[in-house]
Structure 1
């Protein structure tokens, strides 16, 4: 009886809050509202949201749980909000799972915008781009070459390439963040991140985020998420202790050393507060979550598209052979000279356009009253940029649903894609991700011809009911060695 009374009270409070919000907004010119409230159940949500834009326009509202959210479906509206008016839309909504995973907003990806957040981002970005300057590209080149050498020993059997890419990108983050690491450390962090992401993406957590008062009731999904976060924190804290015990002031071996020596200093910006060790902890978490599955998934999409388009793969290998010589699979093109490989750059851009790994980005929150495309956006409104929808806009892109890298080779080029977001919340790891995509795909195509086992092409449709990331359905690829030492049976033999 007490439980029923509590449920009725919560329902009454939610209804009163909804009515009060509607009364406050009665004089505003709000975006049109999409009918229905089961949009999250659609199997391919970004494409569904783009379809709604055909009748409602590129800016509209829809109901998610207990609140309205505004969805942006065009490059123009996304850039208006996130670039032109970035101060108005740089916030993050306070969602129950976000607060748990981000250790109460000490996180960059999930934390709300503030002067302290800005200082935190600056420190982490400096650790990657300044602290690792001169060592990042050689490290990625070395690990990518070792990756291809390992795969050459398995040329006689098909490879589940997604898992291989996932371990490679996790290894890169481990080495950049912690210094040289044994395979056991890489595998431990890889498994930890995979477990956390699977648990976080579970439907029970999505429901909790949409209907927050459910967190007051027993939830096995929430209990598992807390356990995954505790396991993650235990591993990161172990690395923090190891670094503090052996660190030399004024020198840094890796990104963690660099960040640890940046905390506790007087704030550079007035009112920003002081960075603490907890911020370094969450920077590490961000690097692993944002730098492992996203890049590995993009690499997997690239392989899948090339299996479907062998003529593009052939042209890419001809481009590599012209620049580096046929059979020279250990030669390299420095990233600063990447313009020497225009088709490879165009192919990467096309994969990012068609399959942005985080197709709806992470939700933003308006920090003050503003407007988008002439519509009023009240303070505190959750705003979702439909990046994939913007990349498929027929008014911007020619043949938008086709895999056509040559669009980026045309005179004048194509409109820039938004795969990494834009504005103040642009992906922190974009420079590293672009470097990895260029180096790994270049080395893979130098070393191998990619073939479907027994002609079985992978699906180009994302996993239905995916979470934050646009994940692929599992597939295998046959890696046929190129060069004088090419050997082994072909696919299907």
Structure 2
């Protein structure tokens, strides 16, 4: 094994050079985007900001190499929408990289699955489960779980807390209820899924896994990070299979208790009408459930946490939000809750959510796309099979679209009803399927939280608004604490609870 490893290391430069020369030969007649020199760009901290900075020299679309892989990066709203909306079929693919294959169950994942008729059927089933299967129960569940969350927060009022952890457990609880229905009677089930998803995300984001996408042959070498990821995935799949087993044993045809019921029955209907694309299998339902937890827990919790952090820095906005809530919802003692369909009554809250999503997208580089056929962007040729990265941060900081884009100014979304919209959930065929649920959660949680509490920073300096310095594709929010003061209560002594 050692001999083979040394041989591969000696051959690597030759293989890289051969691949580079072959690529240059094949692409010699194309008008390609400009190429950024170097091949270790992924080692730059806070990669979305680094990629955005390259636009000053290379423009809103350019190529660069991440190890042996050449990619095209889109850094403006115009380029992203041209690719993902106007020419969505051309850019609907996913690269089948090593880490994707590891976390996907027999290549049946929805988020990282490649574009195909079977993928389209899986997407349609999952979207229907969200928008039709639990349409009547989604908002009541979110309202109920959020109300219980606020009661728990009231018990901790006045103490410093790490609210991101609380938000993470809240969003995971909502996903559990919507996915598993009334079976979520024990907190142990929610905590088990929450801990598993946190462990999976942290392990998947480790450098020892990222390097496998750059140098896939390293998966044959000892790698503790890879071993840990496989153990977490095995635990994840065991938990999901247990829930699928329970649902199949208690399923009543024609009745829909939750999303799992809806997808299992929808899968059976599709098997009868499969045509030439092959049937949807239980594994597709399995991975749709996994995607709901991965995509619907930490991302929404992170956006809620960023909102709290921005409001700590802008208490005048927080005060205006509370005045808007009091005006529209009545006195604090009232149990009246505005419905999501009537959210137009709270324009400043909607604008604040949009501004936080613009400034701090929880997945700023989205997931990489792959061209399904030759195409073009802004007159540049994009060959078939090219990996394309939409830098959503570039779209949100685009000075041709947004005035003073780096400033927190919710009022920019109040100035015109026809103004630009943020792309925090992506766009086109690969838009995040959980967007309706996430926007509902953001609205309901912030409505109830700001109506019940005033958000106060710790004594002393305010927490930083800058992402933590880290290596990776996401922007890590800084650790911070907050004090929740029940509205109407007197302000606490700043020296308490330190």
Counterpart of 1:42 in structure 2 is: 44
Counterpart Cα distance in 2 of 1:150 and 1:329: 19
Counterpart of 2:191 in structure 1 is: 187
1:79-478 → structure 2 map (5 Å cutoff):
79-180=81-182, 181=184, 182-265=186-269, 266=271, 268=273, 270-328=275-333, 330-465=335-470, 467-478=472-483
Which stretch shows the higher mean deviation, 146-155 or 408-417?
408-417
Counterpart Cα distance in 2 of 1:156 and 1:412: 39
Counterpart Cα distance in 1 of 2:325 and 2:163: 22
Contact 1:330 1:443 in 2 (8 A): no
Tell me: CA distance 1:376–1:461, structure 2 relative to 1, closer, same or farther (3 Å): same
Counterpart Cα distance in 1 of 2:243 and 2:417: 48
1:63 aligns to what SS in structure 2?
Answer: strand
Counterpart Cα distance in 1 of 2:494 and 2:237: 44
Counterpart of 1:59 in structure 2 is: 61
Give the C-alpha shift of residue 6 in structure 1. 3.4
Q: CA offsets, 1:109-128, max 9 Å, x none?
A: 00001000000011111111
1:208 aligns to what SS in structure 2?
Answer: helix
Counterpart Cα distance in 2 of 1:57 and 1:208: 30
User: Is 1:71–2:66 an aligned residue pair?
Assistant: no
Contact 2:175 2:293 in 1 (8 A): yes
Question: TM-score, normalised on structure 2?
Answer: 0.96
Contact 1:199 1:225 in 2 (8 A): yes
2:135 aligns to what SS in structure 1?
Answer: coil
Give the C-alpha shift of residue 264 in structure 1. 3.4
Counterpart of 1:18 in structure 2 is: 20
List alignment gaps of at least 5 residues for structure 2.
Answer: none
Contact 1:41 1:465 in 2 (8 A): no
Tell me: CA distance 1:21–1:139, structure 2 relative to 1, closer, same or farther (3 Å): same
Question: TM-score, normalised on structure 1?
Answer: 0.97
2:292 aligns to what SS in structure 1?
Answer: helix
Counterpart Cα distance in 1 of 2:333 and 2:57: 53
Structure 1 runs of 4+ aligned residues shifted over 6 Å read none
Give the C-alpha shift of residue 54 in structure 1. 1.1
